[in-house]
Amino acid sequence: MTKARLRIQVYGIVQGVFFRSSTEEKASSMGLTGWVKNRRDGSVEILAEGEKKVLEALLAWCEKGPEGSRVEKVEHSWEDFKGEFSSFYITYI
């Protein structure tokens, strides 16, 4: 099993539609760790760690998003696993 870190930026109607809380719930249920936050430009940023196949599933989920959101674009980049998180949470920093 390969562990990895995935940074995702989601653009569209993704703020004010429970995108962060839905992402937190989804990622936690998948056993991933990391965080999700709103960006000033109206996008949502996600930094997640875990098994690469599970991260790929989270990325696929982000391309649709929760009900009420309208995802227009998703950018992502793979990084080296660091293991610095113990859970998945919403952050405001």
Point out which residues pair with 2 in neighbouring strands: none
What is the domain count for the chain? Answer: 1
Residues marked as catalytic: 20, 38
Contact 55, 4 (CB under 8 A): yes
Residue 14: domain span: 3-90
Tokens of 54: 């599970």
> How many whole angstroms separate alpha carbon 36 and alpha carbon 44?
7
- What is residue 19's predicted lDDT score, i.e. its pLDDT? 97
pTM attached to this predicted model:
0.96
- CATH number of residue 41's parent domain: 3.30.70.100
pLDDT at 93: 78
Per-residue pLDDT of the chain (93 residues; tens, 9 = 90+): 899 999 999 999 999 999 999 999 999 999 999 999 999 999 999 999 999 999 999 999 999 999 999 999 999 999 999 999 999 999 987
